[in-house]
Structure 1
């Protein structure tokens, strides 16, 4: 028995083929382009990126494999949406998750018209640029010709399931993040939330590891996956990533170290919040509470490119810098910020810089600033009534041991490092195995536990208070600079 898992990410897609015991037999990766046609816009070509990557990865992973694959599961970025017309072909590029901030005005207007109290009661969240409804409303407002022709909406895994099987589905975790169309209290579509989008056919709901169809003749021809292979509903990458490292009990909290940074905590019940995202769980037995930072590794990547130095060199220099970076603090809002401040106009800012600060200080302060954002979200979770029992690290950033240690020091929480940090594609393969009744309880055990340094925690407690204070004090300035930038761009569009 072998299981195929594929995850569609922001800048690349990854796939794995595992056996019944969770051993990775093969891995593959495919880089792709994320379009940024205007400031605050992030898009994918659903046909070229979402489907094209699955086709390429499937063929690469299955070529020469021993025996046919037993089941397939695909995850992807979200909430992201592509709308299709009568012929079920995309009408425009897919609008990505909360890093795309074009619908901020629509989110504010919908919060006011529906009422934040009603939204919290029914869907568990207020609306933001992360939400589905404002994205659809933006299309209706700004591209009315496109909206008039729209008949269906797809998530990234939903689009792949459609191409593989012909089925029109949406997993319940993705649905519950598609505010305001899903009623989290009833765990079904919300009629009032759907009303503005009644022209769209509603996809069939399913749990992520639920088999929703079989690979069709056309799907098999395109991908090389045998016709009749079971296909699950799949889900958003963060949920698959959490499951890849065994986050399934209440209090388990995944910290996903990637280009952006995401947290998911498993909860026993729905936990409404104005600062986070309440959502379904992987199964009907649990719920989840999620948080997402707009940047993570994007900041360190930017630093390496700007300074012209590699990760290893900067990490070594940063390791020699004292906790607190000798009084240097970074607000890591280089692409606005999602939770817990929901401020798409926030900007990155260093405070406390002196002539004595070096590239090592800049790099360490970047890691510390991202870790402060993690703590900010964990404290919001705690205030909402959901306490982290343990942190579990996953993602490419876990290769940077200094980064994970700084997060444990800043939060004061131990952090489990699993044996495998392959990521969401491994969680997909695990869900594919679950779908066929495989016992996956032994998959990916914990390899190591990082403990926080109490002395560093004392410094970071003081720095965290300054972190929160710095944003509060500078938010008006950040917003003013954003307005100044927009004005300059309109006056000199070609520069």
Structure 2
């Protein structure tokens, strides 16, 4: 970001002084910040868009300098806008959040040794996943860490750096994710939350809630293990240097923070046993919360955002990324595409799409899966294609929900959050495809708001902590349509069959592309 890039700031006008918490989330396609008063009202919000780097097929990276630069820009922009509007905002605590699990390795002076490797959308570490699984045994990995090793796990990605870039790894001394990196820059603390740590499989013991020391020493030698804490714990206080950079007063408490999907769940109160949070974003994410550690080969078992909770989580590799691709490809705006998709109707006039345009995460755990569009004719329109893409993500959600329930998850209610909740069509298609009611809260800005809430709880006097149900009440319920649900029951069976029948072919195509993009550039 240069000096001419400024956040697009929205602010609520008022004329009094507020004790506020600042929440900032570093996402895949943008960073968002909010100033929130003690009642949960958003006084100011700001967003900065950014891009990830995709240097090779299956690689998704980001320069960690962007995370800090955008945090400082958001903090200053929100403060400045509040001042300009005559709104005296006293920041009493800072909440941080970010995409994950990511792998940012830094040297002894906290200089990154390479760009950060992002979460499950980055599929480069397949060889390391296979080697570590063969070495340790899948059953033992699941017993300790809760989940099989997949492209979502951070442990194999650290091993990939050691294998592929030994000079960079030799300089590495610490491990960060976006939230923990912000906490480091703000306070100097080297801390990682338990939830994020539980996604560094096989390095964390889910039942013990601690690093698994034998495997840490074996697979990440030379890297200091972060201190573990819970997302809402206070990591430290803003240093003088960070205050100068951000405009946040020195001494302001900063929470530990966690991965954005879990902070999103906090933002809508979807963190109690029986809750399922469904996040509509660049990717789709689902988190079912309970008190038991559920293990199933095709989902991710993690600890929860709060002590005593466990999660069964899943994620689609594309959702908003797929609709954005179609938008760019057709040179149309979202309102036009949504209107045309609505006119297309359930079933997209005979189209069926697999949304695996960036491989797929759960429940098929197939980084070499690829997008498929079946049933195309010359009279299909871009509206049909857009409808098919929305339906594909909805059927992907259903696949995850059914897998969670088969593993023993008790799903009592669905709470929707994220940018995709702004339009009713997508919500309706998901409810129709899953047969489930969705609750939509008043604020769906997501992780930045959840981070601000956690910060408010962290500094509240004993017995006076705010409640998210009061901050952010449910304002909308999406009921499934019975006739549409019957159509999607048939489509779901076809969806499963389409993947099974095309898997071998698309794997061959993926392998061919991998070879063509190899360092030697030789197609064999």
TM-score range, shorter chain: over 0.9
Residue matched to 2:41: 23
| Residue 114 of structure 1, CA deviation | 1.0
8 Å CA contact retained: 1:83, 1:151: yes
1:45-83 CA distance string (max 9 Å, x none) = 11x211111111111112225142010010001000111
Cα distance in structure 1, aligned partners of 2:337 and 2:75: 37
- 1:299 aligned to which of 322, 325, 347: 322
- 1:49 aligned to which of 66, 77, 98: 66
1:109-157 CA distance string (max 9 Å, x none) = 1111111111111110001111111001000100111111211111111
Cα distance in structure 2, aligned partners of 1:87 and 1:446: 46
Cα distance in structure 2, aligned partners of 1:272 and 1:22: 36
Is 1:383 matched with 2:406? yes
- 1:9 aligned to which of 27, 44, 49: 27
Cα distance in structure 2, aligned partners of 1:85 and 1:486: 31
| Residue 326 of structure 1, CA deviation | 2.4
Residue matched to 1:331: 354
1:307-341 CA distance string (max 9 Å, x none) = 12221112111112231122210001010001111
Is 1:266 matched with 2:284? no
Q: What are the equivalent positions in structure 2 for 1:305-344 lying under 5 Å apart?
A: 305-344=328-367
Q: What are the equivalent positions in structure 2 for 1:242-257 lying under 5 Å apart?
A: 242-257=265-280
Residue matched to 1:158: 180
- 1:230 aligned to which of 253, 270, 279: 253
8 Å CA contact retained: 1:22, 1:440: no
1:400-454 CA distance string (max 9 Å, x none) = 2111100000000000011111110000000001111332241110001010001
Q: What are the equivalent positions in structure 2 for 1:424-435 lying under 5 Å apart?
A: 424-435=447-458
> Moved runs in structure 1, 4+ residues, more than 6 A?
none
Cα distance in structure 2, aligned partners of 1:264 and 1:62: 33
Residue matched to 1:284: 307
8 Å CA contact retained: 1:80, 1:97: yes
Per mean C-alpha deviation after superposition, the further-off stretch among 311-320 and 229-238 is 311-320
Cα distance in structure 2, aligned partners of 1:244 and 1:277: 21
8 Å CA contact retained: 1:77, 1:97: yes
8 Å CA contact retained: 2:94, 2:252: yes
| Residue 492 of structure 1, CA deviation | 6.9
Residue matched to 1:217: 240
Question: Residue 471 of structure 2: SS of its match in structure 1?
Answer: coil
Q: What are the equivalent positions in structure 2 for 1:128-143 lying under 5 Å apart?
A: 128-143=150-165
Per mean C-alpha deviation after superposition, the further-off stretch among 482-491 and 176-185 is 482-491
Question: Residue 513 of structure 2: SS of its match in structure 1?
Answer: helix
8 Å CA contact retained: 1:157, 1:233: yes
Question: Residue 200 of structure 1: SS of its match in structure 2?
Answer: coil
Is 1:185 matched with 2:207? yes
- 2:489 aligned to which of 450, 454, 461: 461
What TM-score results when the alignment is normalised by the length of structure 2? Answer: 0.92
Cα distance in structure 2, aligned partners of 1:492 and 1:283: 48
Question: Residue 52 of structure 1: SS of its match in structure 2?
Answer: helix
Number of equivalent positions:
492
1:345-387 CA distance string (max 9 Å, x none) = 1100011222332222111111100100000111110111103
8 Å CA contact retained: 2:56, 2:517: no
Residue matched to 1:89: 111
Question: Residue 54 of structure 1: SS of its match in structure 2?
Answer: helix
8 Å CA contact retained: 1:108, 1:128: no
| Residue 297 of structure 1, CA deviation | 0.9
Q: What are the equivalent positions in structure 2 for 1:327-476 lying under 5 Å apart?
A: 327-437=350-460, 438-441=465-468, 442-476=470-504
What TM-score results when the alignment is normalised by the length of structure 1? Answer: 0.97
Is 1:99 matched with 2:121? yes
Question: Residue 153 of structure 1: SS of its match in structure 2?
Answer: strand
| Residue 88 of structure 1, CA deviation | 2.0
| Residue 483 of structure 1, CA deviation | 2.0
Question: Residue 320 of structure 1: SS of its match in structure 2?
Answer: helix
Cα distance in structure 2, aligned partners of 1:488 and 1:231: 47
| Residue 488 of structure 1, CA deviation | 4.0
RMSD: 1.3
Question: Residue 179 of structure 1: SS of its match in structure 2?
Answer: coil
Q: Structure 1: any 5+ residue segments left out of the alignment? A: none
Question: Residue 70 of structure 1: SS of its match in structure 2?
Answer: strand
8 Å CA contact retained: 1:292, 1:339: yes
| Residue 208 of structure 1, CA deviation | 0.4
1:170-212 CA distance string (max 9 Å, x none) = 0111011111111001111112321221311111111000012
| Residue 236 of structure 1, CA deviation | 0.3
8 Å CA contact retained: 2:57, 2:514: no
8 Å CA contact retained: 1:21, 1:440: no
| Residue 487 of structure 1, CA deviation | 3.9
Give the direction of change, closer, same or farther, for the CA distance of 1:287–1:487 in structure 2 (3 Å limit): closer
Is 1:61 matched with 2:82? no
Question: Residue 389 of structure 2: SS of its match in structure 1?
Answer: helix
